[in-house]
Amino acid sequence: MPKAPRRTRSEDESTRTGNGGELHQQATDQVLTTNQGVPISDDQNSLKASPRGPSLLEDFHFLEKITHFDHERIPERIVHARGSAAHGTFVANGAGAKYSRAGFLAKTATTPVFCRFSTVAGGAGSVDLPRDVRGFAVKFYTGEGNFDLVGNNIPVFFIQDALKFPDLVHAVKMEPDRGFPQNASAHDTFWDFVSLMPESMHMLMWAMSDRAIPRSLRMMEGFGVHTFKLVDAKGTSTFVKFHWRPSLQMQSVTWDEAVKICGADQDFHRRDLFTAIQAGAFPSWELAIQVIEEDRIEEFPFDILDSTKLLPEEDFPLLVVGTMTLDRWPDNFFAETEQSAFHPGHLVPGIELSDDPLLQGRIFSYTDTQLIRLGGPNFHELPINAPKCPMHNWQRDGHQRHEITTGRVSYEPNSLAPGGPRETARGFVTHPAYDTKGAAKIRVRSETFADHYSQARMFFRSMTDVEQRHIVNAFTFELSKLETVAIRTRMLGHLELIDPALGTSVAEAMGMTGQADTLTPARKPIELQPSPALSILAKFAPTLQGRKVGALIADGFDRALVDKLRAAVTAAGAMFELVAPKIGGATSADGKLVPADHIVSGGPSVIFDAVVVAPGAAGMPALLGEAAAKAWVSDAFAHCKVMAVVPAAQPLLDAAGVKPDEGVIEITTKTIAAFVDAAAAGRIWARETSVRGPDKQPAKAAVTKGSATAKSKKSPPAKPAPVIAPKPPKPPSTPALKKRR
Ligand code: HDE
């Protein structure tokens, strides 16, 4: 007979130690039970025939726990697998009520929402900052049912017909024989496919722009992409496009930062959203519509049903219809974020689909995907998917049915359940977009979808010089990763058609000048006015709201100065974090040990928007002997960040190759305000070409930038005005400091 295990009670009676020294925490409040509610006395040891085994099959607690664990994962989304979500509220301003009878668009209507952001190509456990499109899906729990606006952070799409979606996704995902690359478009199959699909050229321009490497999920625009229909109470339809505009404005990281951030913090975007919400800095977006009046449909040079085209804001201004604020992180990631099921066909009365062939195909795909992911037709009963308004129908049974319906009737019409659900005249009605009489059954692409280059060209020409340079670099990076030369030369042919300056710059940067294939477009591109609204930098207005400033400190640092910096930075709405050689902190000149938020190797400067380099002389040897400290400073400089520096930092600045410019500010209590202003104005882009070799390659956009119309519009310069007037560079031995006058 095995002996009963020896048990000893701890002093406070809330724990005991088992025979093997294992900890048994004892219930003082809630009792641990099986899924059947049976209290569990030992969750540390399985049932055995003797202390050393064998294990017994009759241990139903062990069997239940392991079986549940074995089934914990469900199929991840085939696209948009990696996502982060939050709850919030949408408040309408009433402007949309003119066009739609949807109750949630009525003035002051307040609607709970759930918003999930995602990357597209990678798996659920992949990094947050690949070059990729971001999903922007919002579920409105309206009083008339759920409305899902399942959009992206880019207003156009790669393909025109849903039939091509599996091909696109197969091409971008890891290659099937080798299982890599994870989460990256820079490989042969993606570029092979898109280079054979001229319709993807416009979207490629966006995907190779800084929009595809956002600084934060809170700093992204969102788009419904397709044309939708709003319908008012009289049944009058209006075509619209949906836009989300972030109150924190758009911001992107640089490509080099994206690469390094992926190593430093794989969860960079998820953590940022979580931290902001936990801190009460709730992100918000305005929802706007672009109204397409019927008489302007013909005037627009493209087909409004073609999802590879956008409507320039300059011609179709945004009408704000309400504001969404995200203020609550989900309680449980799996139950809410993972099990949320979005669907472009979740519509409410007053919002309808257009005939866009891409949108039409999505209507099938999303239900089908939920069936495989969530296991059956009752996914609408999961709390995250359930409408918050009354829901009644005669559907019954099926996998994982939760609702216990009563009575003998499960059909209608019926006379046996007189109080049961019935049709209503105020229910959803589908209004045809136009008369479909005499329609044939055909497999053709409309000729009106045939211009694949004009808007791609417009996008490129609407960018600032800095943004054009980044696009050139992105194409150069991605195409240089290809093994098959023929795909490179084909893509160069497309870039030539989009804009000769773009094609030439990329070819030169790749050392492939003159090797572009000659391609003939299906339709000759037309010249369009540039649209400054497409540029991130041209419309940026200085702000430090929601940003993060990092201060590198070391022993002997000036605590009063750092405290004042913290106060000024937080007053401007940003976070302020300390980085030191040791996590325990650094000792200030006045002898106080101040704990750090990050160890220098664990909190690289790439995770901050602006930096302070404020070590004391006593800590300098520790920093100079640490490669991560030198990289911290040299990266901040190379990423064009505004830097506040103290004189004691000079040896480190020299070691890191920091050169004086208007963004390197000597920090004293008098220059704090100047530093905050400079940091709010964004990066010192003028520095970029002097620090990054291949980026010196100009985009050479010697194209007609701007036009009479575009020039007359107020469009800020590419680079924010320097806060401190630049001085001529000094000889290398002189301090890399700039005094604020
Ligand atoms: Fe999706 N898409 N998609 N998509 N999509 C999915 O549905 C699909 C498209 C978008 O956070 C899947 O529930 C087809 C455009 C987002 O859960 C799937 C086509 C746009 C999300 C699917 C498209 C999107 C998805 C996978 C070609 C921008 C994530 C998981 C017509 C307007 C939603 C799921 C979330 C997810 C199909 C094209 C946005 C497979 C067939 C265009 C934001 O059903």
Best residue among 366, 367, 368, 372 to mutate for probing ligand 1, ranked by most atoms within 8 Å of CB = 366
158-214 pLDDT tens trace? 999 999 999 999 999 999 999 999 999 999 999 999 999 999 999 999 999 999 999
State the pLDDT at residue 431.
86
- Ligand 1 center from residue 681 Cα (angstroms): 36
Average pLDDT across the chain, whole number: 91
Instruction: Provide the 3-class DSSP secondary structure of residue 169.
Output: helix
Known catalytic residues are: 80, 152
State the pLDDT at residue 441.
74
Closest atom of ligand 1 to CA, residue 80: 29
State the pLDDT at residue 12.
56
User: In the predicted model, what is the mean pLDDT of residues 622-630?
Assistant: 96
Closest atom of ligand 1 to CA, residue 116: 11
Instruction: End-to-end CA distance of the chain: give it in Å, rounded.
Output: 88
Instruction: Provide the 3-class DSSP secondary structure of residue 426.
Output: coil
pLDDT band, residue 14 (cuts 50/70/90): confident
Specify the DSSP class assigned to residue 338: I
pLDDT band, residue 13 (cuts 50/70/90): low
Q: Specify the range with the lowest mean pLDDT, choosing from 1-5, 569-573, 599-603, 605-609.
A: 1-5
Q: Which residue has the higher pLDDT, 294 or 272?
A: 272
State the pLDDT at residue 1.
45
Beta strand pairing status for 145-152 and 134-142? antiparallel
Q: In this model, does residue 730 exceed pLDDT 80?
A: no
- Ligand 1 center from residue 366 Cα (angstroms): 7
User: In the predicted model, what is the mean pLDDT of residues 565-588?
Assistant: 98
User: Is the Cα torsion angle 499, 502, 503, 505 positive or negative in sign?
Assistant: positive
Going by CA atoms, what residue is nearest to atom 39 of ligand 1? Answer: 151
678-724 pLDDT tens trace? 999 999 999 999 998 654 444 444 333 333 223 333 333 343 333 23
Closest atom of ligand 1 to CA, residue 79: 26
Best residue among 74, 77, 84, 164 to mutate for probing ligand 1, ranked by most atoms within 8 Å of CB = 77
Q: Specify the range with the lowest mean pLDDT, choosing from 7-16, 148-157, 356-365, 576-585.
A: 7-16
Question: Do 261 and 607 form a contact (C-beta atoms < 8 A)?
Answer: yes
Q: In this model, does residue 725 exceed pLDDT 90?
A: no
Q: In this model, does residue 6 exceed pLDDT 80?
A: no
User: In the predicted model, what is the mean pLDDT of residues 486-496?
Assistant: 98
pLDDT band, residue 17 (cuts 50/70/90): very high
State the pLDDT at residue 502.
98
d(CA 312, CA 319): 13
Question: Do 225 and 157 form a contact (C-beta atoms < 8 A)?
Answer: yes
Q: In this model, does residue 468 exceed pLDDT 80?
A: yes
Among 284, 225, 233, 295, which Cα is nearest to 96's? Answer: 233
State the pLDDT at residue 442.
83
Closest atom of ligand 1 to CA, residue 150: 43
- The alpha-helical segments, DSSP class H, found in 538-599 are 559-571
367-408 pLDDT tens trace? 999 999 999 999 999 999 999 999 999 999 999 999 999 999
Among 682, 678, 555, which Cα is nearest to 609's? Answer: 682
**Percent of the chain at pLDDT exceeding 70:** 91
Going by CA atoms, what residue is nearest to atom 18 of ligand 1? Answer: 366
Q: Alpha carbon of 96 to those of 100, 149, 231: distances in Å?
A: 6, 15, 10
- Ligand 1 center from residue 204 Cα (angstroms): 18
State the pLDDT at residue 436.
57
Among 179, 176, 321, 169, which Cα is nearest to 241's? Answer: 321
258-281 pLDDT tens trace? 999 999 999 999 999 999 999 999
State the pLDDT at residue 437.
60
Q: What are the pocket residues of ligand 1 if the criterion is a CB atom closer than 6 Å to any ligand atom? A: 77-80, 83, 116, 118, 135, 137, 150-152, 157, 162, 165, 225, 340-342, 358, 361-362, 365-366, 369
Structural domains of the chain in order of their starting residue, each with its CATH number = 1-40 (no CATH), 85-381 (2.40.180.10), 454-534 (1.20.1370.20), 548-681 (3.40.50.880)
Token reading at 588: 């200030």
Specify the DSSP class assigned to residue 698: -
- Ligand 1 center from residue 620 Cα (angstroms): 52
List the beta strands (DSSP E) in 496-655.
548-552, 575-580, 586-587, 593-594, 598-599, 610-613, 643-645
Beta strand pairing status for 586-587 and 593-594? antiparallel
pTM, full prediction = 0.89
- Ligand 1 center from residue 352 Cα (angstroms): 18
d(CA 741, CA 734): 18
Q: In this model, does residue 320 exceed pLDDT 60?
A: yes
651-670 pLDDT tens trace? 999 999 999 999 999 999 99
Query: SS3 for 450-462, per residue?
Result: CCCCHHHHHHHHC
Q: In this model, does residue 500 exceed pLDDT 80?
A: yes
d(CA 110, CA 100): 16
- Neighbouring-strand partners of residue 287: 244, 322
User: In the predicted model, what is the mean pLDDT of residues 248-266?
Assistant: 97
Token reading at 737: 């400091």
Element (DSSP H or E) covering residue 323? strand 318-328
pLDDT band, residue 440 (cuts 50/70/90): confident
Beta strand pairing status for 548-552 and 575-580? parallel
List the beta strands (DSSP E) in 110-253.
110-119, 134-142, 145-152, 222-223, 228-231, 237-246
Question: Do 153 and 449 form a contact (C-beta atoms < 8 A)?
Answer: no
Alpha carbon of residue 53 to chain centroid: 51
